[in-house]
Amino acid sequence: MDLEIAQSTPTAAAIAKVVQANYPLGEVVAGEFLRRSFNQVYRLTLADGRSVVARLCAERPRGEPQLQFEAEVLQHLRTRGCPVATCLPTTMGEVALRVQLPEGERALMLFEHLEGEATSDLPANIQAFGRGLAQLHEAGESLQSSASRYTLNLDHLLMRPMLRLLRAPTMTPEIRPQFEALGRRLHERILSLGALTQVLCHGDAHSDNNFVAEREGGERQAVFFDFDDTGPGYLAYELAVYPWWLHPRSVDGVWSDKALARWGHFISAYQEVRVVGEADLAALAPFVAVRQFWLLGEYAGRVPVWGSQAMPTDYLQRQVKLLQQWETLELPVPGIASAAHPALSAVRAP
């Protein structure tokens, strides 16, 4: 009897054989399965001592992977001096390889392996992260490409994820309208702020998708990878991903002094390179909540692979309370004094 497969997990040895047969890199002598999350990621070691990273793209709720655009973005950023993990072409010169698996074809992309240390909570590393992201945005202004499948607008980030969330099998009639009302209020708040700055977004810049390397003279520089969410979109969303990562994603969670300090280092360093306007600063707090809606929609879309208990009903009940609390979330902005934080001022959307 034939069974329908949602998503299989090839071994590192199997991926190594595929790469060796289809890329002009020579012998692959070792492989390591790094993680299974939104994609499956492997580190491969070549006979000449180099390492490369293979990403087996998973089926994604937000649409087919934008392989050509991602490769173009990486090459564009590299040519403009931004340190990123570029895509490595197949023997036939393609940006990705189609691999036949029990569930059907999936795309395999190969990338340079980057060296460096985690951003962590070191002020110098966080500042390098902030400056580096600003430099990515500056370099992205000159990109000319029509290959993007994603535009990081409110439809992509909020409305479509919310619809997937509302259809989750663990959703209940009691909490469904609460999520829907929260999402629509959030949508209206952001639209009420008027025109907001657009940039070429990394899409997932939460400090774990970059390393920090020390250059000659002791300068620290962020090196970026994992651009499969990249696309044109809101600067405020891009900047809100890091404070979303820092803020406790739990009911009644509050900013810690450590998190505030990390956020301050990041946004101050970013603004050394690119000034962020008042409307974009005001949009940061609601975009923190947008990011959580996006994540919930991604989880809901992966129920066939991860199972319904990846987001059980009691978890959804807590998420309603979290998002209700985040409607009044204040996001401090460094450089303007306030009573609670002498070097910080709380900015919130009206």
Mean pLDDT over each residue of the chain, to the nearest integer = 92
Q: What percent of the chain has pLDDT over 70?
A: 95
Summarised one tens digit per residue, pLDDT across range 26-40 is: 999 999 999 888 899
The Cα-based distances of 198 to 138, 152, 237, 311, 312 in angstroms read 11, 9, 10, 32, 35
Checking if the pLDDT of 210 tops 70, the result is: yes
Distance CA 58, CA 6 (A): 10
Token digits for 279?
Answer: 């409307």
Q: For residue 335, what pLDDT is reported?
A: 55
- CA atoms within 13 Å, Cβ hemisphere of 342: 0
Average pLDDT over residues 256-265: 94
DSSP letter for each residue of 286-338:
HHHHHHHHHHHHHHHHTHHHH-GGGS-HHHHHHHHHHHHHHTT--EEEETS--
Q: Is the pLDDT score of 348 beyond 80?
A: no
- Domains of the chain as residue ranges with CATH: 12-112 (3.30.200.20), 117-347 (3.90.1200.10)
Backbone angles phi, psi at 40, to 5 degrees: -110, 130
Contact 294, 158 (CB under 8 A): yes
pTM equals 0.93
Q: How far apart are CA 146 and CA 284, in angstroms?
A: 28
pLDDT in tens, 301-344: 999 999 999 999 999 999 999 999 999 998 887 654 343 444 45
Report the half-sphere exposure of 120 (CA within 13 A, side-chain side). 7
* Amino acid type, 51: S
Q: pLDDT of 220-257, one tens digit each?
A: 999 999 999 999 999 999 999 999 999 998 888 899 99
On whether the CB atoms of residues 170 and 308 are closer than 8 A, the answer is yes
pLDDT greater than 70 at residue 292: yes
Asked whether residue 108 carries a pLDDT value surpassing 60, the answer given is: yes
pLDDT single digits (tens) 110-141? 999 998 999 999 999 999 999 999 999 999 99
Q: Which amino acid is at 320?
A: V
Average pLDDT of the residues in 252-276: 94
> Token match 């099998």: residue?
169
Cβ–Cβ contacts within 10 Å for residue 169, how many?
11
Is pLDDT above 50 for 277?
yes
Tell me 277's DSSP state. Answer: P
Q: What is the pLDDT of residue 3?
A: 87
